[in-house]
Structure formats: C-alpha cells, structure tokens
Amino acid sequence: MEAGRRMAEDTMFFARPTPLSIADIVALTGATAPPGTDLGRIITGAATPDVAGPSEICFADKSRFVRVASTTRAGAIICRARDATVFPSSTVALVARDPGRAFTLILSRLYPQSLLPRSVTGETGISPQAIVAAGARIEDGAIVEAGAVVGESAEIGAGTVIAPHAVIAPHVKIGRNCLVGAGCTIQFAFIGDRVLIHPGVRIGQDGFGYIGGRSGHIKVPQIGRVIVQDDVEIGAGTTIDRGAVRDTVIGQGTKIDNQVQIGHNVRIGRHCLLAGQVGVAGSATIEDFVVIGGQSGINGHITIGAGAQIAGVSAVYVDVPPGARWAGAPARPVQQWLRARAREMKLGLEHHGSRSRSSEAASGAGEPG
C-alpha cells in the first residue's frame, strides 16, 4: 500500500496545496477543536483514514468509516461529537455538525484547481489547430483548444475553455468561466455562466418524435432549443435533446451525473440532483430541489413536485407531490413501497416453506413402510 501511495504522489495531477493550520480549518468550517490543541499545527493535504499521514486530514461520519479511522495515522480528522474519543491521541479530532460538508470545504481550499476549467493542451487563446468561423465571437480570455470547431455566429465568453475536438455549432451562445469537455457537441443551445460540461456530452440534438402510420413513421420537426442556466454541471456521456416546440430547460445550480438521458421539452428546475443513468422522457417537468436516484426512469408529460426525492431504480409513471419520497417500480410513496416489499418477502417465504413441506411429504410417501 505504501509503495502504491508513493507512486501516486510521484504523479500528482494537482499542484501541491498551500498548507492550512488547524486554526485555518476551524475558521473555514466552524469545527470545534479539543481544548489544548496546537492551533498552529500544519496540514498539507487530505486522504482517506486508512492511508492518511501525520500532516494530512481525513473525515469519518458513518460507523464503517469510524471503525477504519480508529487506527488512523492522520494529523487531524473531521468527525461528529459522538465519535471524537475513538481516534488515536496523535490525531486532532475536529468536531463538525456535518463532517462531509466540512471536509469538502477543506478539499476546495487545498485543491482549488480541481474545481476550475483547465486547458488540456496548456494553450491560451485560440489554437492555430482549431477551426473557428470568421463570424464567431470569442471574448478575450477564452481558450479554444486544438481540434475544436466553433461555428458561424457562435459566442464564447471570457474564461471559458473549449477542450479538444469539441464542436460548437452555429449561433450557440456559451457564457463565461465554463468548461466544455473534450469531444462534446453543442447545438441549438444557450449555455449560462460557470457551467461545467464533462467530456462526451451531447446537447441540442433532435428529440425522439415520430408520428406512426401504415406507410411508416413520419419524423416530427424539432424546432426548440436547450437552455442551460448558470452553475449547472453535466456529467460525461449525458445527452440533452432540444425541444420539439417549447425549449428544454435545465435550471440554475442543477447537477446531472454521467450517462443521463433528458428528452425533448423537459423542464428541470433549480438545484436538482440527477444521478447516473437516469432517463427523463419528453415533456416531463421536474421542479426545484428534486433528487432522483440512479437508473430511475421518469415518464413523459408528468410533474415531479418541488423537493421530492425518488429512490434509485424507480419507475415513475404519475405525478409526484411536492416534498414526497417515492420508490419502486411502479413508484409509490416510500412507506407504501416498504409495506409492499414486506408482503412480497413474506409471501415468498411462505411459498418456499409450503413447497418444502410438499416435497418432504412426497418424499415420505415414496418410502417403504
């Protein structure tokens, strides 16, 4: 393990962080240090509890992490008050209400470059190997890397990075301080500021719409757009179809995981979370602060109310009220789903028991008396 750790340190992808003192960490996170702690003690990095060294910080907020961390060599750990006495005396136990959030703030301060768009090639400005239409408007400070294509009348704001082989179609507008990852295609779309679009994302292609008939399927023209508001993040391999007539909209601050499919005319509100492999069918509406677990399917033309939570691997066919928690296929309120699962398990056990008894009886009937 130590050899692997040394190899990883020799090939760091991020610059070594500016050290933080325990006092800096307390001020940043609001955590509480034990009485008598040396607040000037320096932390130079972060790691998991099992490999963290004396100058690194880790966190533990769940029982299994606390067990691992009980023998940590870390210089400091972010934890809950109930666990503060579990760790070695050499580790400073910093108590926080939400250890995960506190640790995230620390990581952001130690490794700020991990959150920012970066050039793949190290180029600045427009690469001579990029193809940029004469009528495109690119603000000073934007980066268009080798192999990228920017169409006629497209606009790209300052601080935005267009990575290699990304294609920005004509008339697309991309705001400031965005990242468009390698191999992305963006068309028929307006993108806000500080939007992170990871590699391989497809935005603005045709929605899936056909009118069936005996002579074959007639393609429905898709004449809408995609509107992505500020501070959105879109994971690798995700596809967002443009609207058929109305626009497809992704609201401010929403975070979308990898390999998510969003159909035409979908409206997603502000600050939603969609986990990997979620599929949202056309014309669905997802209101603000909704959370959808991985591999769930959302039917078309329904509404998921503000603040609702959908468990992973659910199939949602009907409207979900605001603030509700649903699960299952078909999805229903969590308590109903849990009761149904309990009944199914009980029936399964009873069926298995009755088959076992029948087999025993049949076996006994065949034995000589």
Q: Model's pTM, two decimal places? A: 0.86
Q: Do 271 and 253 form a contact (C-beta atoms < 8 A)?
A: yes
Three-class secondary structure of residue 347 per DSSP = helix
Give the pLDDT confidence score for residue 353 in this predicted structure: 58
Give the pLDDT confidence score for residue 1 in this predicted structure: 45
Range of the domain at 207: 123-246
Q: Do 235 and 253 form a contact (C-beta atoms < 8 A)?
A: no
Q: Do 333 and 319 form a contact (C-beta atoms < 8 A)?
A: no
* Mean predicted confidence (pLDDT) in 234-260: 97
Give the pLDDT confidence score for residue 356 in this predicted structure: 57
Could you identify the residue written with the tokens 């268009």? 144
Q: What tens digit of pLDDT does each residue of 31-70 get?
A: 999 999 999 999 999 999 999 999 999 999 988 889 989 9
Q: Are residues 149 and 170 in the same domain?
A: yes
Q: Do 170 and 133 form a contact (C-beta atoms < 8 A)?
A: yes
**Residue 232 is encoded by which pair of tokens?**
């959105």
Q: What tens digit of pLDDT does each residue of 136-159 get?
A: 999 999 999 999 999 999 999 999
Q: Do 213 and 251 form a contact (C-beta atoms < 8 A)?
A: no
Report d(CA 103, CA 112) in Å as an integer. Answer: 13
In a domain, 368, yes or no: no
Helix 22-29 / helix 99-110 crossing angle, nearest 10 deg: 120
Q: Are residues 17 and 50 in the same domain?
A: yes
Q: Which residue from 207, 139, 146 is spatially nearest to 173, judged by alpha carbons?
A: 139
pLDDT band at residue 116 under the 50/70/90 scheme:
confident
CA distances from 369 to 361, 365, 366 (A): 14, 9, 9
Give the pLDDT confidence score for residue 142 in this predicted structure: 96
Give the chain's domain count. Answer: 3
Q: Are residues 108 and 128 in the same domain?
A: no
Per the document, the length of the chain is 369
Q: Are residues 86 and 137 in the same domain?
A: no
**Residue 279 is encoded by which pair of tokens?**
């599929």
pLDDT band at residue 298 under the 50/70/90 scheme:
very high
Report d(CA 298, CA 263) in Å as an integer. Answer: 10
- Known catalytic residue at 264: yes
pLDDT band at residue 8 under the 50/70/90 scheme:
very low
**Residue 28 is encoded by which pair of tokens?**
């940043």
**Residue 288 is encoded by which pair of tokens?**
């603000």
**Residue 351 is encoded by which pair of tokens?**
């069926």
CATH label of the domain that carries residue 324: 2.160.10.10
Average the pLDDT over each of 235-244, 288-297, 318-327, 358-367 and give the range with the smallest value. Answer: 358-367
Report d(CA 56, CA 121) in Å as an integer. Answer: 31
Bridge partners (DSSP) of residue 219 are 210
pLDDT band at residue 369 under the 50/70/90 scheme:
very low
Q: What tens digit of pLDDT does each residue of 176-218 get?
A: 999 999 999 999 999 999 999 999 999 999 999 999 989 999 9
Q: Are residues 104 and 200 in the same domain?
A: no
Of 115, 131, 155, which marks where a domain is finished? 115
Report d(CA 49, CA 40) in Å as an integer. Answer: 22
Q: Are residues 205 and 232 in the same domain?
A: yes
- The residue ranking higher by pLDDT, 296 or 363, is 296
Q: Are residues 238 and 136 in the same domain?
A: yes
In a domain, 321, yes or no: yes
Of 64, 90, 115, which marks where a domain is finished? 115
Selected catalytic residue, list 217, 264, 271, 351: 264
DSSP 50: T
